[in-house]
Amino acid sequence: LSSVSAHMNMAKPVPRGYYHPQPKGAKGAPKADGGIRGPAEQLCKGKPVGEIVGTYKAGSTIDVEIEGTAPHDGGHCQFAISYDDKTYVVIKDVMKDCADKVKKVQVQLPDNIPSAKRATFAWAWINAGGQYQYYMNCADIAIEGSENGSLSGKKLLVANILGGPRI
């Protein structure tokens, strides 16, 4: 698994392919997997489905931590859920200061979200300054929701990568 220093990364919940060799409490730049550089279909950085890292109830809060040393003046974060790793529904947006001033975010799951033994929780970030970039991490979670629940909303914005718009 290759990693680079000085990029942004979702550290919690633990994402697919996460690599952090430093012992807890160690100082220095965290290790984070680089941004997406390939075609738009490489969501979740092409990382394979991993183990379930948390089980969450409908209406509960997912505590998200973002780490890294290159926040590029902050940016726009989206948090989304997918049941098929193709369609992502945004459940929270954080504008402008995400990953700069805001590195801890509480994301509430909708009350009517459907149950799933496996779902994908995604964090996506578009930087505010510097070169066009798009970062995304995905964590595999289970959801205890409603049998007849539904999830609808806006689609995840995918930008600044090959085949996508530049913003």
Pairing between β-strand 31-32 and β-strand 9-12 as defined by DSSP bridges:
unpaired
Are 143 and 116 a contacting pair, CB within 8 Å? yes
Domain 4-144 fold: Coagulation Factor XIII; Chain A, domain 1 (2.70.50)
Mean pLDDT of 120-141: 86
Is the confidence at residue 6, as pLDDT, over 90? no
No. of helices (H) and no. of strands (E), the chain: 0, 10
Q: Which residue has the higher pLDDT, 133 or 121?
A: 121
Partners of 78 in beta bridges: 93, 124
Question: Which tens digit of pLDDT belongs to each residue from 76-97?
Answer: 899 999 999 999 999 999 887 7
77: Cβ contacts below 8 Å, ≥ 6 apart: 66, 93, 94, 98, 99, 102, 105, 123, 124, 125
Distance CA 23, CA 136 (A): 24
Full-model pTM = 0.80
> pLDDT tens digits, residue range 95-118?
877 766 567 899 999 999 999 999
Contacts of 28 (CB under 8 A, 6+ apart): 22
Tens of pLDDT, residues 47-66: 889 999 999 999 999 999 98
